[in-house]
Structure 1
Amino acid sequence: MTNHSADLALFDYLETQEELFRKATLRLGAPSGKEALSGGAEWILDNYYLVQQTCRQIREDMPPGFYRQLPQVDDGPLIGYARVYAIAQKLIAMDNAQFALEHAQRFLQVYQNFAPLTIGELWALPVMLRLGLIELLAQAVSRLSGLPRNNPLRGLPLRRALSDDAIVATCITSLRTLAAQDWQTFFESVSWVEQILRTDPAEAYARMDRETRDRYRKVIEELAFATGAAEQAVAHEAIEWARANALTPRTTHVGYYLVDEGRVRLETQLGYCVPLRARWRRWVLRHPTRSYLGRIGVLALLIVLGGMSYAQAAGGDFLQWLVVSACLLIPALTLSVNFINWIVTRTIPPRVLPKMDFETGIPSDAKTMVVV
């Protein structure tokens, strides 16, 4: 599953394994008077729905093109695979497929002292863990059912040999464990970019809600991808800008250089070339009234002029032109407003407004009184 054909390979792989599991459940569930079902067979029959759910979730969490952007392994038994897949395989092998969140946190913290992971890699880790467990489960189910394997993934051997029955039980238990984790909290505990942003001179970033923090990190990811800089370097640069401009609370906050007017300074420092579409979108957002009303006016004017041209071609006089224009004015404005609204909702996605997280209560410095 190398990156040049990664998306297709991944979806082909999932289809093949789903077919294997389907056939295996039919074979293992077929009544036979010879001998009782093994423990592994009972596990897979009772939890087949969980396997289907996991394969479906892998598809949903791995959008087209995402896998190709992940850094690859340069050497070793998993050469050509995504680095985060190799890490997932290492975690599975190290714990004998018994996933433990604490072990994963410690492993990633040590690993990143030598090779920091990107934001995309950390978000992809749960998917890769599920993928690795599905592969290990498919191997065991294939042997239990006597069905041949097609399109297998490469993996790492478990630290300690297990029977097929034990592998099936352990993999299904681990899939349940993965489904119950709070991956947002896990991500923020191991992300270096997150730790850097939490040094915000305004001390506001750590107090903001999850959606806002995620929006800030996406900007870091976008700028790093476009400029070739490391994500940690981009985050450091934003923090340095905030420290160097501690004149007002607004310019002291790191978000000013990520989602506000200060972003231009950060982009210039990084050598980021703003795409034409992004420039147009920024111009529209800076001049919303002029842009919105101007487009409505131009479109309505074109419709009215079209009606006047038709009246002229039909031999109408000046008074008739005015009557046609007056009759078309309100319909033209209504049509223009509806059309421009339709265009805007499809070309300018809604933005998450930066906000604080007050789930645990309003801090003393944010308390106020509203009198109606």
Structure 2
Amino acid sequence: MELVLGFLTAVVLMLVRRAWDKPASLGELRDVPLDPERLKLHAADVAKAHGTKPRLRTTRILLKRLEANYDRITAVYQYLHEKAKTGKPMSPASEWILDNYYLVEEQAKAARQELQREGQVKLPVLDRGPLQGYPRIYAIALELVSHTDGRLEQGEIMDFVAAYQEHRVLTQREIEALPLMLKAALLEYLAHLTGKIHGTETAWDEAHRLTRLPEENRLPAVETFLQGGQGNHHGALAMELLRELRAREKEDPLESYLVQYFQDLGTTLEKVIEQEHYEQAARKVSTGNAIVSLKAISLLDWEEITSSLNRVEQLLRHDPEGLYAA
């Protein structure tokens, strides 16, 4: 079983590190949630920053990105599925992935089929930034997903896009593509979250392994982990190490080492563990939001949404003399 987990971990790391065809930072997906008013202000800022290329481009560019995100989610799910068989403790967000992967798979396949079917539809694409060359409406969807923490509601979708259009008007085809773009953006958000989940779980696996080493080897091994490239998961490792050590009800020099290690970094072991608890709780909420939204997005009243957001229709609706049509 340990060999299987090790192999799956290597696969996940390879997928997580895979470069995009046109590299696009996931920085947008780490932004804090905004309240409704600030969300509208942000939409205006995004619109002002966006510029588009003179030539349109088909949505097929998103296929590779969607498939890469789905592969990453699937690899983490397979790793979690195998780990669950061992009976080891798992993070709360992991349970969301294990229980709802079937839904993710279903929605990813539906999005892929729709992108293939609509592959010849041409949309305005961005001319700058990390998403240069990608459809503008996809960038808008990513902004909306990231700043709502994956919790999409009809009112917020309409308000965000309406605020955007106060500065840059979207085409009818862009508005019609919005539900598909939001679905793809949610899958990207989940891929980002599952990467974080995998980092936590592998750090816990390492803690489990380290606490079972002979006492004379344990401390050097922990030092190597913390001071090496894997140290970015030191909060998850420290939390699980402490849980394992305290469950033994026996003093261990490793705990004193951890206290000193974090003091040397200008913090405390308690603060690091408190922050790790907070991040894991937040990740559980974010994962739940994204999965619920992925399921609910097709249930929204898209006829009302697209009609409300279509600026050409709005102009015609307020043009009883027919001047605009002329």
Deviation at 1:87, TM superposition (A): 1.0
Counterpart position of 2:165: 112
Distance 1:193 1:236, change over 3 A: farther
Deviation at 1:70, TM superposition (A): 0.8
Matched residue type, 2:156: H
Gaps of 5+ in 1: 149-159, 203-234, 241-372
Counterpart position of 1:195: 314
Distance 1:184 1:60, change over 3 A: farther
Distance 1:9 1:74, change over 3 A: closer
Matched residue type, 1:24: V
Distance 1:166 1:71, change over 3 A: same
Farther-moved stretch of structure 1 (134-143 vs 67-76) = 67-76
Distance 1:87 1:5, change over 3 A: closer
The CA distance in 2 between the partners of 1:21 and 1:76, in whole Å, is 25
Q: Is the 8 A contact 1:196 1:236 kept in 2?
A: no
The CA distance in 2 between the partners of 1:44 and 1:88, in whole Å, is 22
Structure 2 matches for 1:314-329, cutoff 5 A? none
Q: Is the 8 A contact 2:69 2:191 kept in 1?
A: yes
Which residue of the other structure, out of 74, 78, 81, is the alignment partner of 1:26? Answer: 78
Counterpart position of 1:79: 132
The CA distance in 1 between the partners of 2:162 and 2:57, in whole Å, is 31
Structure whose alpha-carbon radius of gyration is higher: 1
Counterpart position of 2:186: 133
Which residue of the other structure, out of 93, 98, 104, is the alignment partner of 2:146? Answer: 93
The CA distance in 2 between the partners of 1:61 and 1:22, in whole Å, is 20
The CA distance in 1 between the partners of 2:296 and 2:106, in whole Å, is 14
Distance 1:189 1:6, change over 3 A: closer
Counterpart position of 1:230: none
Deviation at 1:135, TM superposition (A): 0.8
Counterpart position of 2:302: 183
RMSD of aligned alpha carbons: 3.2
What secondary structure does 1:47 align onto?
helix
Counterpart position of 1:56: 109
- Tell me the alpha carbon deviations over residues 323-348 of structure 1, each in whole angstroms, 9 at most, x when there is no partner: xxxxxxxxxxxxxxxxxxxxxxxxxx
Distance 1:186 1:138, change over 3 A: same
The CA distance in 2 between the partners of 1:69 and 1:96, in whole Å, is 29
Deviation at 1:236, TM superposition (A): 6.0
The CA distance in 1 between the partners of 2:138 and 2:319, in whole Å, is 32
Matched residue type, 1:173: V
Q: Is the 8 A contact 1:141 1:164 kept in 2?
A: no
Counterpart position of 1:166: 285
Counterpart position of 1:102: 155
Deviation at 1:201, TM superposition (A): 4.4
The CA distance in 2 between the partners of 1:170 and 1:53, in whole Å, is 17
Q: Is the 8 A contact 2:96 2:288 kept in 1?
A: yes
- Tell me the alpha carbon deviations over residues 1-21 of structure 1, each in whole angstroms, 9 at most, x when there is no partner: 679986554323333333333
The CA distance in 2 between the partners of 1:62 and 1:33, in whole Å, is 38
Distance 1:199 1:161, change over 3 A: farther
Deviation at 1:101, TM superposition (A): 1.6
The CA distance in 2 between the partners of 1:178 and 1:133, in whole Å, is 10
TM-score, normalised to structure 1, is 0.46
The CA distance in 2 between the partners of 1:64 and 1:180, in whole Å, is 21
Counterpart position of 2:90: 37
Counterpart position of 1:12: 64
The CA distance in 2 between the partners of 1:29 and 1:200, in whole Å, is 58
Q: Relative contact order (C-alpha < 8 Å, sep 6+): which is higher?
A: 2
- Tell me the alpha carbon deviations over residues 229-278 of structure 1, each in whole angstroms, 9 at most, x when there is no partner: xxxxxx9643x3xxxxxxxxxxxxxxxxxxxxxxxxxxxxxxxxxxxxxx
What secondary structure does 1:73 align onto?
coil
Distance 1:86 1:113, change over 3 A: same
What secondary structure does 1:189 align onto?
helix
Q: How many residues align?
A: 196
Q: Is the 8 A contact 2:56 2:123 kept in 1?
A: no
Q: Is the 8 A contact 2:73 2:194 kept in 1?
A: yes
Q: Is the 8 A contact 1:136 1:167 kept in 2?
A: no
The CA distance in 1 between the partners of 2:79 and 2:117, in whole Å, is 34
Q: Is the 8 A contact 1:7 1:65 kept in 2?
A: yes
User: Identity of counterpart residues, as a percentage?
Assistant: 31
Which residue of the other structure, out of 165, 177, 195, is the alignment partner of 1:124? Answer: 177
What secondary structure does 1:115 align onto?
coil
Distance 1:38 1:98, change over 3 A: same
What secondary structure does 1:62 align onto?
helix
Deviation at 1:42, TM superposition (A): 1.2
- Tell me the alpha carbon deviations over residues 215-241 of structure 1, each in whole angstroms, 9 at most, x when there is no partner: xxxxxxxxxxxxxxxxxxxx9643x3x
